[in-house]
Amino acid sequence: MKKQILFLALLTSLVVRAQQPVVNGSFQLDAQAYVTDAAIGITDSALAGQRSGFNGFGNVVINWGDFRAGMRYEAFLPPLRGFDPRLEGNGFANVWLNYRTDFAEITAGNFYEQFGSGLLFRAYEEWSLGFDNSLNGLKLQVYPTKGVVLKGVYGSQRYFWQPYTRNSRGLVRGLDADFNLNELIPERENAPWRLSLGMSGLSKYQRDADPIYVLPENVGGWAGRFTAGWGNFILAGEYATKINDPGAVNNFIYREGRAALASLSYATRGFGAVLQLKRVDNMGFKSDRTQLGNALDINFIPPLNRIHAYSLTGKYPYATQVNGEMGLQLQLNYKIPRNSLLGGKYGTSVAINFSQVNDIVRQPVNDTTPIGQDGSEGYKSKFFAVSDHVFFRDLNVEIDKRFSSRLKGVFQYMNLHYDIATLQGHAGEEAVEAHIGLADLTYRIDTRKTIRMEAQLLLTKQDLGDWAALMAEYTIAPKWFVSVSDQYNFGNPDNAMRKHFYTVAAGTNRGATRLALSAGRQAEGVVCVGGVCRQVPASSGLTLTFSTSF
Amino acid sequence: MKNIAILFVLLAAIIGSGCDHIEPPYKQQSGQVGTADRKVLLEDFTGHTCVNCPTAALIAHNLKTLYGDRLIVMAVHAGYFARPQSAPFDADYRSQAGEAWDQFFNISANGNPNALINRQKNNTYWHYPPGSWSTKVSEAMQSEAHAKIELNTSYEASTRKLGITAKTTFLTRLQGNFRLQVCLVEDSLVSAQRNNDPNAGTTPVISQYVHRHVLREAVNGIWGEQILSNPEAGYSATKSYQLNLPAGYNAQHCAVIVFVYDAETYEVLQVEEKHL
């Protein structure tokens, strides 16, 4: 607490002395009151006495000339159901100071940072997942010349509310260099091509006190990347590798880790295309080798899948498989011109997206060691070999069309293959094959009043069977909205489980402030952001959300 | 360009120095040993529908192989994954004490498998994930033994009468209140177990899984009973129990686990196990 008081005093003195400090920040509060609802399996024992959940934060950043300082208070009292119970607690989770000159910038305290696309290192925070792997330490950024950025990070990662003590978890230290050749080489500033290169190295230290395994105390990794542009094309690639890093995630195998990403995109007026490829092999990287789940991740494997925003298209989201996956995504966007046969008066947008993720091929390292045996090399794997085992496939087509000045619609079809046994740990369950369709119509009644209706249908023979969802939302701009929705699991193979999950919500927006209240049921599911997921248990009750920023 | 070259060399040097390449064999031939009179209790919180639990049981088994009698493993079936379901998961290995401990130490809420190791608090949490068991057990083995337990059992097969006598002697002077917990465990219970690790057995279900060291019941209450306060070195307390071994328990597979713990911190000072 002393630290926080000192920090506040320092901040106050900065503000007092400052001529024109700029302060900004945000606050959010998510509170739920839970009730028992035997029909969907929420009994007293399932709630285990938890009648309420509360997640909240307040974040303030002060800019004062070359200085910046920020702090974030968080409270999870206790966390909402579905969030990691280790989050329970309150306090200043994030406190930092930053000083910047034209040549260099230093940050002390808790900070976020990313090298390249994050294959080797990404410290970030995702409120909706309760995820935060910020580093607590120091970060130095140097700008030696135009077009060059050097970064160094050193610290320990956040682990819920557990303070770092000697050997309680690992330390992370990393360096990154980024070169923008068009800026670095003066005569290339206006060249038709654009090229930037980057490289990074990172090492974690965690002591070995294990009586069984001989463990590496220092695990290093490196990554190289490039982005090249020519005309309407952009080609980018990144490759990362790390040395032997046995841990709970890979079942203590000593194989090196590798990950590669590549993307090619093309954009012109009315048309865009992106092709992305990735290969991940034993690339789970944590600052504590004993951890599973999302805690203490050092790196981040970007997902190559469309992020679906609707409730049923998002019902089976992809969870990144750090131990091995090969993925491909192709996204095509086309705007059919106005006043054409298909475009109509207002034009029509068509988006086609295909993604597929398969397992990698693993072969035994020798005749006597099973694949993945702990305390061995684990397996061998050919770089370009793709396994027949499909984790995930999503083909979706979306049409956005405006019919008149008052009516517009979004129509989507999605064809899904989802290996629920791997992606959600439902061992032995058959992969979900689903057809999902939706229509989302928005009708503007007058300049202030809008009504939006959503209808969705998910058809599958696996998992919980078919679902339908309906939603209607009435908005009186700019302040009020009210909505009713229902998800109905009409095709559940168990007749007794064919339940409705209805919700009524209302809220108000005042500038950057939003207050919403909803009541009803939430179906069990999985929430994923960027391939990082958390399970959401079914719940019933009242939810209050408040958020504001300034 | 020269600066950039220097930078590259620097980067390579730093990364190079931050790497420990390990050559085979990756496992040590002999484990570390601590003081001979220190025994360690590992309570593996598990359940038959927990897919990662067989891997954890394998880790516990490997540690047991390494430490022998000095590591005492107790499998506590509690929480969501231990609930009986439709066949073949209709076995019920839960116990009143196991459920109470699971709630109190907040284990299954953090997922299974997780363990208590000597009920030592890990800063703010009680539970340890399986990947950390060998390190934590090794540390616990090195810690000083403040007490010893002499455990004797008598069992009469015809009447199924079980007698337990535990004499706890403190080896150092300690502050606080100390409690004795007596548990009955049964080994080699065979029933189905979910599994997703091919190295631990068939996936997704091991139909004839051998459940080891299963906690059946706490003999002297969920939190045991108080034996001594602020003991001097050499103080001892003896407790005796008589009970009928419940029908259905296979006496040949049963054992008694006794441990003494600090009533305030819950930390286990010493543990002992004896087969009937």
Q: B53-67 vs B133-142: helix axis angle to the nearest 10?
A: 30
Residue A191: its pLDDT value, please? 84
DSSP 8-state symbol, A255: P
Residue A526: its pLDDT value, please? 81
Contact of B20 with chain A, judged by CB distance below 8 Å, is answered with: yes
Asked if B217 and B184 count as a contact pair (C-beta separation under 8 A), the reply is yes
pLDDT at B20 over 60: yes
Contact A209 B138 (CB under 8 A): yes
Cα A96 off chain centre by: 23
Asked if B241 and B163 count as a contact pair (C-beta separation under 8 A), the reply is yes
Could you tell me the two tokens for A86? 């280790």
Distance, in Å, from the CA atom of A432 to the CA atom of A423, rounded to the nearest integer, reads: 11
Could you tell me the two tokens for A78? 């206790």
Decide: helix, strand or coil at residue A422: helix
Asked if A233 and A266 count as a contact pair (C-beta separation under 8 A), the reply is yes
Residue numbers of chain A with a pLDDT score lower than 70: 1-19
Measured in degrees and rounded to the nearest 5, phi and psi for residue A75 equal -140, 130
Residue B125: its pLDDT value, please? 86
Contact of B248 with chain A, judged by CB distance below 8 Å, is answered with: no
Contact of A371 with chain B, judged by CB distance below 8 Å, is answered with: yes
- Higher per-residue pLDDT: A108 or B9: A108
- For chain B, first and last CA: distance in Å? 77
Asked if A227 and A234 count as a contact pair (C-beta separation under 8 A), the reply is yes
Which residues fall within 8 angstroms of residue B202, CB to CB, at 6 or more apart?
A: B195
ipTM, two decimals: 0.77
pLDDT at B214 over 90: yes
CB-CB: which of B62, B66, B129 is closest to A292? Answer: B129
Q: Which H or E run includes B218?
A: strand B214-218
pLDDT per position as a tens digit, A118-166: 999 999 999 999 999 999 999 999 999 999 999 999 999 999 999 998 8
Contact A218 B18 (CB under 8 A): yes
Q: What is the mean pLDDT of chain B?
A: 90
Q: Residue B164 pairs with which residues in a beta bridge? A: B153, B241
pLDDT per position as a tens digit, B177-191: 999 999 999 999 999
Residue of A nearest to B135 (CA): A210
Length of chain A: 550
pLDDT at B273 over 70: yes
- In the sheet with B147-156, reading across from the earlier edge strand, the strands are B147-156, B161-170, B236-244
CA dihedral B117, B118, B121, B125 (to 10 degrees): 30
Q: Tell the burial category of B244 from Cβ atoms under 10 Å away from its Cβ (0-12, 13-18, 19+).
A: exposed
Which residues fall within 8 angstroms of residue B199, CB to CB, at 6 or more apart?
A: A251, A370, A372, A373, A374, B55, B58
pLDDT per position as a tens digit, A23-35: 999 999 999 999 9
Residue A339: its pLDDT value, please? 86
Contact of B88 with chain A, judged by CB distance below 8 Å, is answered with: no
pLDDT per position as a tens digit, B117-136: 999 987 778 999 898 898 89
Residue A536: its pLDDT value, please? 84
Residue A226: its pLDDT value, please? 97
Q: Which value, in Å, is the radius of gyration of the alpha carbons in chain A?
A: 25
Please list, residue by residue across B75-114, b when 16 or more beta carbons sit within 10 angstroms of its beta carbon and e when fewer do.
Answer: bbbbbbbbeeeeeebebebbbebbbebbeebbbbbbbbbb
- Greatest alpha-carbon pair distance for chain B in Å reads 90
Contact A374 B18 (CB under 8 A): no
pLDDT band (50, 70, 90) for residue B108: confident
CA distances (Å), origin A148, targets A99, A199, B24: 19, 12, 41
